[in-house]
Structure 1
Amino acid sequence: MDKTSIFGLTLGIAAILLGQVLEGGHISSLIQPTAFLIVIGGTFGAVMLQSPLRVFREGVRMAKWVFAPPPSSHAELIAHASAWSHVARKEGLLALETRIPTLSDPFARKGLQLVVDGVEPQRLREVLEVEIDAWGAQMKQGAKIWEAAGGYAPTIGILGAVMGLIHVMENLSDPSKLGSGIAVAFVATIYGVGFANLVFLPISKKLMAHVAAGVSLREMLVDGLVGIANGDNPRLIESRMQGYVP
């Protein structure tokens, strides 16, 4: 669980609500279901229009990484590679075949299988780097739907405010309703700007950071597998992989 994300989101929302109270306003005046519907519905409608369904679903699925990041244990991966290199030097590359079914990561399974199959080190690196590039590009597309949402939300919020003002103008005959009507109209703008800068854009940046970490982890594994295929000393392989650790 990423406690920083939880604390950051809570702090941002609490600061805005506290500011509203200190200014003499009421929190209830910021709760407008109609404005929420316009901003959120309009924003995600625009994002779905610009993105293929596969990319949109991937981006929504990735949102859980903000609070529950994907596992990325550098130490565990280095330990695995070190053990594989010792086995390969003592018993040969074919002895690693029994280790493949124990791996839960498809990328690691594929890489180790290529090593067992005797693929040349340079060719091994090329094949796995293509897969890393494809994975990274796919994940970045998913993360960018949140960046797109952050771009659309403020504009949709302004649209909601204008719609509210139109409704106010239709009731000019009743001056007692003008003040509250205008206040309600501008809540849509608050929602648009607030969701963009407190939710959508931060989510996008956090997901991009996790994607970059995933790419680095895979590159580290490739370096280790290439070292095993080359027959490098296990200590050298471990030392080289340690260079990827933040």
Structure 2
Amino acid sequence: MNFSTFIGLIVGIVIVLWAMSMGSSILIFFNIPGLMIVFGGTVAATMIRYSLKEAIYSIKMSFRILMPSTDIQDKEELIELTDQLVRSARQNGIVSLEKIEVRNEFYQYGVRMLVDNYPRELVRQTLKEENRLLVERAQTSAGVFSSIGGAAPAFGMIGTLVGLVQMLSNLSDPSSIGPAMAVAMLTTLYGAMIANLFALPLADKIAVWGQEESIRQQMIIDAVDFIAKGLHHSMLRDVLSPYLDKKPNFDEEVV
């Protein structure tokens, strides 16, 4: 898991819960009608905008980003691995690559196609298409959580209006004012918390991850192509070093 994400999430939740519990019972912040309005409305609005398949994939992608990965992520390590693969391919042939452990799933896919004697251009084209699909999926997943972040506060306001209407329509009954006011206030709180502590930060996280992973995959595409061409390992760093300083560009299109 990304530690900054983990620490931020835990600190945010702890601070909010601590503030809630100071001076009163935290149970007063639990309101079933308010939760139904915010959670139910947010889920409904998101499902109208996106398909069930896209929503489920977004959840899977969020876990993929937050949980520890066994894939090679460091670009310097990718260059070292590529150097090892290049030397092995030149000395022992492409087939020898299957004996070398490749811990990056995308890189492993490309190497496997080389070992299976796929044409170089087909390998490059296939990997580029995989990279394009990754960016599209990341953008869609970020959009799903952005939608949640926009819908939750809106339904919080709807819940507030519902509570105010209930309160104003029953001013003659003092016992109904308290529950109605609780719905009015707590739905706004729920919507703000869902949006700002969970959905919007996760949308940004997925967007940044998608761009960084796209750059990493583009680097791997060039590395696999370098191996397929049979070039000398002394040229490797000159070919791949530009990726070491390349930063995500959110306006950049995959080519």
> TM class, shorter-chain normalised?
0.7 to 0.9
Matches of 1:99 and 1:34, distance apart in 2: 60
Structure 1 residues 95, 12: CA separation in 2 closer, same or farther (over 3 Å shift)? closer
Instruction: Compute the displacement of 1:58 (Å).
Output: 0.3
State the TM-score, normalizing by the size of structure 2.
0.81
* C-alpha distance in 1 between matches for 2:95 and 2:46: 49
Contact 2:55–2:141, Cα closer than 8 Å, also in 1: yes
After TM superposition, list the pairs within 5 Å mapping 1:177-188 onto structure 2.
177-178=176-177, 181-188=180-187
CA offset digits 1:167-191 (Å, max 9, x no partner): 2123211235435632431210111
Correspondence for 1:138: 137
| Structure 2 residue aligned with 1:82 | 83
For structure 1, the 5+ residue unaligned runs are none
CA shift at 1:47, angstroms?
A: 0.9
Report what 1:52 is aligned to: 51
Shift of 1:89: 1.5
Contact (CA 8 Å) 1:62, 1:143: kept in 2 or not?
Answer: no
Note the C-alpha offset of 1:27.
Answer: 3.7
Greater Cα offset, 55-64 or 86-95: 86-95
Identical amino acids, percent of aligned pairs: 27
For residues 94 and 175 of structure 2, the distance between their equivalents in structure 1, rounded to whole angstroms, comes to 84
For residues 106 and 9 of structure 1, do their structure 2 counterparts lie closer, same or farther at Cα, with a shift above 3 Å needed? closer
Summarize the Cα distance change of 1:66–1:38 in structure 2 as closer, same or farther, 3 Å threshold.
Answer: farther
TM-score, normalised to structure 1, is: 0.83
SS in structure 1 opposite 2:243?
A: coil
Any conservation in 2 of the 1:146–1:200 contact (CA below 8 Å)? yes
Q: Cα distance, 1:43 vs. partner?
A: 0.5
> Whole-Å Cα distance in 2 between the matches of residues 140 and 206 of structure 1?
11
Alignment map for 1:96-135 (pairs within 5 Å) = 96=97, 98-99=98-99, 103=102, 107-116=106-115, 117=117, 119-120=119-120, 124-135=123-134
The one-letter code of the counterpart of 2:229 is: N
Matches within 5 A, 1:1-246: 1-19=1-19, 27-65=26-64, 67-70=66-69, 71-74=71-74, 75-96=76-97, 98-99=98-99, 103=102, 107-116=106-115, 117=117, 119-120=119-120, 124-175=123-174, 177-178=176-177, 181-238=180-237, 240-245=239-244
Deviation at 1:123, TM superposition (A): 5.4
Contact 2:33 2:183 in 1 (8 A): no
Could you say which residue in structure 1 is the equivalent of 2:249?
none
- Matched to 1:45, the amino acid is A
With over 3 angstroms needed to count, the CA separation of the structure-2 counterparts of 1:30 and 1:239, relative to structure 1, is: farther
